[in-house]
Chain A
Amino acid sequence: MTKQQANWSPYDNNGGSCVAIAGADYCVMAADTRMSSGYNILTREYSKICKLADKAVMASSGFQADVNALQKQLAAKHLTYQHQHNKQMSCPAMAQLLSNTLYYKRFFPYYAFNVLGGLDSEGKGCVFTYDAVGSYERVGYSSQGSGSTLIMPFLDNQLKSPSPLLLPAQDAVTPLSESEAVDLVKTVFASATERDIYTGDKLEIVVLNAGGIHREYMELRKD
C-alpha cells in the first residue's frame, strides 16, 4: 500500500510582521517588506500594506498568494460599493466587509493575518485586528504575523489599553502623539528583527491623518 496522506499543502507561510497603532487623530500602520519561504528569502521588497479605501489601509502577513486574492476580492467589492453609493467606504464598514469576506471561506480559509487601520467617521484613529477566519475586534493597537509574539507584549506594556468590558466604554486609542507612535513602531521592528528570522530587510510605515496618507521607509537588518 502506498502512502495515503496528502503530501502537498495548498498553503505556505511567507512570514513577516505587521503593527498598527491608533491615536486620537491619526493611525500608524507598519510592516516589514521581507517575503520568505522556509529558510529562503523570496524578495526583500514586497509591500504587505494595501490601501483599500481613502481612509482604510490593510497590512497582512501569512500566505501572500491568499493575501493577494483577498485584496483583489476587497477591491472588487469596494468598486461595486462606490458605484452604488457614490462614496468611499468608511473604515468600520471596510472592517465588517473584511470579516465577512474571510468568514465566507470558513472551511478553506484565506491564510492571511490582517490588521486594518484607518480613520473613522469622526476622524479618530481606528485599528481592527483579525484572525484568518474573520473574527475581529476594534482595538487601540495590534500586531500580527511571525514577530507578533515578540511585539505584542511590548506594546501591551507601553500602551496599556482599557478593558473592553469596562462600563461606560472607554476610548481605545493610545495617548501617544503621531511622532511618538512612529518612533515606537521603529523601535519595535528593530527589536523584532533581532530575534525573528522572518522579519527584516526594510520597514514600511504608512501614516493616515487629516492631511491624507503618507509613507516612509526605514532599513532593517538583512540577515
Chain B
Amino acid sequence: MSQVAVEAPPKGGFSFDLCRRNGMLSKKGVPPPSYRKTGTTIVGLIFQDGVILGADTRATEGPIVCDKNCEKIHYMAPNIYCCGAGTAADTEAVTDMVSSQLQLHRYHTGRESRVVTALTLLKSHLFKYQGHVQAALVLGGVDANGPHLHTIYPHGSTDTLPFATMGSGSLAAMSVFESKYREGLTKEEGIKLVCEAICSGIFNDLGSGSNVDVCVITKGQKEYLRNHQLPNPRTYVSSKRFSFPKKTEVLLTRITPLKEMVEVIGGGDIMEE
C-alpha cells in the first residue's frame, strides 16, 4: 500500500487554495475576471406604521446590462427584508446565510426574529472578511421593538437611520429623501417617495435602471410589490420581422462506430487464483 496522506474533510467556510496562484497571475499582468455587480439604487425609509424598502432591477457587468429585471430585495425573515448592492453573488450569499441562521434561531427560541439580530449577524460576517465580501445593504424590518432601518457597509460598519440609500445611485436617491422626507408619512406617501427616489437613481445613474421594486413591512404583515413601476418600456419595435437566414453549414457528416474499432490482442495475463 502506498502511503497517501488522507486529507481532513473541509470544515466549511471559503477556500483560499488559489490565492497564491491568482496573486502570481495578477503580478504577471493577467487581470482577474469581473464579477456581476448590481451597481444599484437601493433605499429604505420609516413611515408611520413600519418600513418601506425600494430597489431598481438592473444588474451590470462593466458597461453591459446582464440582467434587466433582477431582484435586489432579499428575504431575511417574515418580518425582515434586506436590499443588497455590490457584487451580486456576495449580497445573495450573505443574505441567504443570515436568513438561515435567523430561521434556526427562531426554531430555537420560538420567537419572532429581531432586526438587530440580523444586523449583528451581517456586520460580524462582513467585518470578518475586511471588505472582501462586497455587500452594501439596507436592512429593514418591524419587530417587538417597532420599525427599524439600518445600512451596512461592506467593511461591517452600520448606521441606524430614519431614511437610507445605498449603491451607485445613492446620491441621486438621497437628494430626493433629503428634500422631501418627513416623520409620520402615510403608507401611500411613503411608497410614492420611495418610488421617486428609486426613479431618480434609475434615470440619473447609469449603474441603475429598468423597474422599481418595493417592499412594505408593517406590524405583523408585509407587502412585496415586485415591479411596482415599469418606467422603461422598449421604445421601438419594427413592424418588419427579422430573419436570420443562413445557419452554420454542414459540410460533411460521418459517423464512426466505436464498437468496430475495438481490437482485442490475444493472450494477456490470466489472473491467478
A interface with B by C-beta (< 8 Å): 15, 36, 38-41, 146, 157-158, 180, 183-184, 186-187, 189-190, 193-198, 218-223
Contact = CB atoms under 8 A, between A and B. Distances in A.
B58 A195 contact: no
Given A39-B39, A186-B238, A190-B236, A223 B64 contact: no
B238 A198 contact: no
The dominant DSSP class at the A interface is: mixed
A157 B244 CA distance: 7
10 closest Cβ contacts across the A-B interface?
A223-B209, A190-B236, A197-B206, A187-B238, A39-B206, A223-B202, A186-B236, A195-B65, A223-B232, A39-B207
Contacts of A146: 63
Given A157-B244, A223-B231, A36 B238 contact: no
19 contacts: A36-B206, A39-B39, A39-B205, A39-B206, A40-B204, A41-B206, A157-B244, A183-B238, A186-B238, A187-B237, A190-B236, A194-B65, A194-B234, A196-B64, A197-B64, A197-B207, A198-B63, A198-B206, A223-B210
A183 B205 CA distance: 29
Nearest to B58: A223
A158 B245 CA distance: 9
B204 A41 contact: yes
A38 B205 CA distance: 9
B60 interface: yes
Contacts of A180: 240
Interface string B43-65: 00000000000000010100111
B232 A222 contact: yes
B203 A219 contact: no
Contacts, number: 68
A146 B60 CA distance: 14
B63 A197 contact: yes
Nearest to A221: B232
B235 A221 contact: yes
Interface of B: 39, 58, 60, 63-65, 68, 168, 202-210, 231-232, 234-240, 242, 244
A196 B240 CA distance: 24
B41 to A, nearest CB: 10
Given A41-B204, A189-B236, 19 more contacts: A38-B206, A41-B206, A158-B242, A186-B236, A187-B236, A187-B238, A190-B237, A193-B235, A194-B234, A195-B65, A196-B63, A197-B60, A197-B206, A197-B207, A218-B235, A221-B235, A222-B232, A223-B208, A223-B210
The dominant DSSP class at the B interface is: loop
A39 B239 CA distance: 34
B206 to A, nearest CB: 4
Contacts of A187: 236-238, 242
Contacts of B209: 197, 221, 223
A190 B232 CA distance: 12
Nearest to B208: A223
B236 A218 contact: yes
A222 B207 contact: no
Given A39-B168, A39-B206, A198-B206, A190 B63 contact: no
A136 to B, nearest CB: 25
Given A158-B242, A183-B240, A220 B64 contact: no
Contacts of A198: 63, 206
A114 to B, nearest CB: 20
B206 A220 contact: no
Nearest to A219: B235
A223 to B, nearest CB: 4
Nearest to B168: A39
Contacts of A223: 58, 202-203, 208-210, 231-232
Given A39-B39, A183-B238, A221-B235, A196 B203 contact: no
B205 A196 contact: no
Nearest to A195: B65
A208 B204 CA distance: 34
B199 to A, nearest CB: 9
Contacts of B64: 195-197
Nearest to A15: B63
A190 B210 contact: no
Contacts of A183: 238-240
B7 to A, nearest CB: 44
A34 B202 CA distance: 15
A20 to B, nearest CB: 19
